[in-house]
Amino acid sequence: MLRFLAFRLSRSLLTLVLVVTFAFVVLRLSGDPALIIMSPDAPPEAVAAFRRSWGLDDPLWMQYLRYFTAILHGDLGNSMRDGRSAIALVGERIPATLALTLPALALKLGLGIPAGIYAALHRNSFADRAVMLLAVAGFTVPSFVLGLLLVLVFAVQLGWLPSGGQDTWMHAILPVITLGMGGAAVLARFTRSAMLEVLGQPYMRTALAKGVPWHVAVRRHALPNAAIPTVTIVGFMVGSLLAGAVVVESVFSWPGVGRLLVVAVANRDLAVVQCILLLVAATMITANLVVDLLYGVLDPRLRMGAREAA
């Protein structure tokens, strides 16, 4: 187990280094933060002074070395736009993003998994078709379209809910629904497929032949076996808790990490972009690690397999 963890951690570290390096090179080669932040109307000498003060006129490799050394010392740098620490800037946006993504995750799980199970258990029924129709609609409609539709109906026409901003809990309702519906649809489809596959397995027939009641067979045998693909998807969803709401945050003017990322990329505010990328990569890697460990919990064969391989 320790070897497994050590291997995964070292691979994760390598991933982080690659993410940081890739983002650094792409951002640096595709735009000059000085011109973007100071605006094209700024005097050339002001742009030049800005460049010099942030070391942007040094060779790229020198900038990278300086940046990487600072990261190793735990210094993720300061925002070039307002001089504040990148960690502080990102940190103060995290609660806003989690205020959307956590309820949205709950909505996805609470709606998607039961709907998928129900559809699978009632295969080819009207309910199954209705659930799948909604699921297809859910994941084919882009979130910005759904978001704008919800705003038009519930904010502009009915006036029940605010259309944007983050002043009260009511401001979160439409973005959470927008964010949750697509994920719930994906989960419903995956859960249904997984369940259908498991329900057709010989061990299910054997259990029923042995007189195990249908609901017990489903609970004890079908659900745990169908959980593996679902857990994989949920792992991705958990991994994208911090940066999975970029579009929705933009549509609803929600001041979270996603919107900060958009603004920081547009301004080539490297320290902030890198800080977010590191955070997102770390979250994704951790989520995947947990998912890998959960596989072993859910399926003893995987534990055995790992042991035999070792």
Partner 1 sequence: MIPAPRPSFQRPSFQRRSLLLGAGAAFGAGALPRFAIAQADQRPSITIAVQKISNSNTLSVLREQSNVGERTFSMIWEGLIGRDLLGGLKPIPRLATDWRRISDSVIELDLRRGVRFHNGDEMTAEDVAFSFGPEAMFGDTRPTAQGRTIEVSGDRIPTRAGRDLPPEVPAVARRSWPALERVEIVDKYKVRFHNATPDVTLEGRISRMGSEIINKRAYVEAETWFDWARAPVLTGPYKVVEFRPDQSLLLAAHDAYWGERPPIRQIRLIEIPEVSSRINMLRSGEVQFACDLPPDQIGTVESDKRLQVQGGTILNHRLTVFDKTHPQLADARVRRAFTHAIDRQAIVDSLWAGRTEVPKGLQWPYYDDMFISDWSVPKYDPAEAQRLLKEAGYKGDPIPYRLLNNYYTSQVPTAQILVEMWKQVGLNVQIEMKENWSQILSREPGRAVRDWSNSAPFNDPVSSIVNQHGPNGQQQQVGEWTNEEMNRLSVELETSTDHARRRQIFRRMLEICEREDPAYTVLHQNATFTGLGRDTPWKAAPAFAMEFRAHNWKA
Q: Look at the chain and count its residues.
A: 310
Position 247 contacts partner 1 (CB under 8 A): no
Which one of 3, 73, 74, 168 is in contact with partner 1 (CB under 8 A)? 168
Nearest Cα neighbor of 147 from 246, 257, 265 is: 246
Position 148 contacts partner 1 (CB under 8 A): yes
DSSP per residue over 150-208, as a string?
Answer: HIIIIIIIS--S-SS-SSSGGGGHHHHHHHHHHHHHHHHHHHHHHHHHHHTSHHHHHHH
CB of 181 to partner 1, least distance (A): 19
Instruction: Kindly indicate which of the ranges 124-132, 186-194, 245-253, 297-305 contains the residues binding partner 1, using the contact rule CB under 8 A.
Output: 245-253
CB of 273 to partner 1, least distance (A): 14
Token readout for 255 is 């001041």
d(CA 51, CA 26): 18
155 neighbors 174 (Cβ within 8 angstroms): yes
Which one of 2, 74, 167, 308 is in contact with partner 1 (CB under 8 A)? 167
What is the separation, in whole angstroms, between the first and last Cα of the chain? 9
What x/- string results for residues 248 through 287 when contact with partner 1 is judged by CB under 8 A? --xxxx-x---xx--x--xxx-------------------
Instruction: Kindly indicate which of the ranges 14-22, 45-53, 114-122, 133-141 contains the residues binding partner 1, using the contact rule CB under 8 A.
Output: 45-53
Using CB under 8 A, list all residues that contact partner 1.
Answer: 30-32, 34-53, 57, 79, 81-84, 148, 151-152, 155-156, 159-168, 170-171, 250-253, 255, 259-260, 263, 266-268
